[in-house]
Amino acid sequence: MVAAWVGFFDALIAIALVLAGVIGAHFGLAAPFLGFQLFLFGMLFGVLGLILGLVGLFRTRRPQFRSAHGRALVASYAGAILTALLVYLVLGARSYPAINDITTDVDNPPEFVHAASLPENRGRIMTYDKARYAERQQQGYGKLQPLHLAMDPDQAWREVSTLAADMHGWTVTYSDPKSRTVEGVATTRLFRFRDDFVIQVRPAPAGSGSIVEMRSKSRDGQGDVGANYKRIEGFFTTVAAAADSRQARR
């Protein structure tokens, strides 16, 4: 039965593409964006496999086609799983604005100094595009704010730079105590996307401690599914917890 057979092989191709995308990107056998594209193509093949599998299940009800029933069943189950995953990702992505450059200060964002000189960033525009990103960031991440610390700027910078160097998946590429700036590259867990980040400690108004500003920018894609925002929030949570622990020991 044609639909059952085609759906079965389509499901196998879908699974192979998904695995090739994830494994290839994670282990450096393919570029992260290529791996992600293979992953998406695999899920699209899964949708087709589901459709063909359901048609196959309907057609193999007839006794003369029963031999292909198992293949139609495999296509339907595999296609349903991949289709459900695709729907979950699409719905999740729609809840985030289609931007990939996030900052805690849209009016005076930390600027990349060293990142622009990295070979992989050659030709890329590293300045913050306020006209393109600011309004959409406010709509999607309005609550994102710089972190206030009750310690002097130099002490805060030492704390921040130490913690940044210890973050999982982060590599610090530049550290300047004079400008109290830290730059680095964050690598995502699954597809190994490499995103640039810059952290800057500034004196708080009226000498009331310090303000930690941060910016995180993806190298690939138009959106980031909230990855840069979550990175900033996660780091600020780590810094705040360390500062509270230090204060409690005094």
Identify the CATH number of the domain in which residue 127 sits. Answer: 3.30.530.50
Residue 246 in this model has a pLDDT that exceeds 80: no
What's the structural domain count of the chain?
2
User: In this predicted model, what pLDDT tens digit does every residue of 39-57 receive, in sequence order?
Assistant: 999 999 999 999 999 999 9
User: In this predicted model, what pLDDT tens digit does every residue of 197-223 receive, in sequence order?
Assistant: 999 999 998 778 999 999 999 999 889
pLDDT attached to residue 67 = 85
Task: Give me the domain span that covers residue 71.
Answer: 2-94
Mean pLDDT, residues 225-247 taken together: 92
In this structure, are 151 and 127 located in the same domain? yes
Mean pLDDT, residues 18-27 taken together: 97
User: In this predicted model, what pLDDT tens digit does every residue of 157-172 receive, in sequence order?
Assistant: 999 999 999 999 999 9
In this structure, are 43 and 132 located in the same domain? no
In this structure, are 72 and 150 located in the same domain? no
In this structure, are 113 and 229 located in the same domain? yes
Residue 229 in this model has a pLDDT that exceeds 80: yes
In this structure, are 174 and 240 located in the same domain? yes
User: Does the CA dihedral 219-225-227-230 come out positive or negative?
Assistant: positive
In this structure, are 116 and 209 located in the same domain? yes
Angle separating helix axes 69-94 and 32-59, nearest 10 degrees: 140
User: Does the CA dihedral 120-123-128-133 come out positive or negative?
Assistant: negative
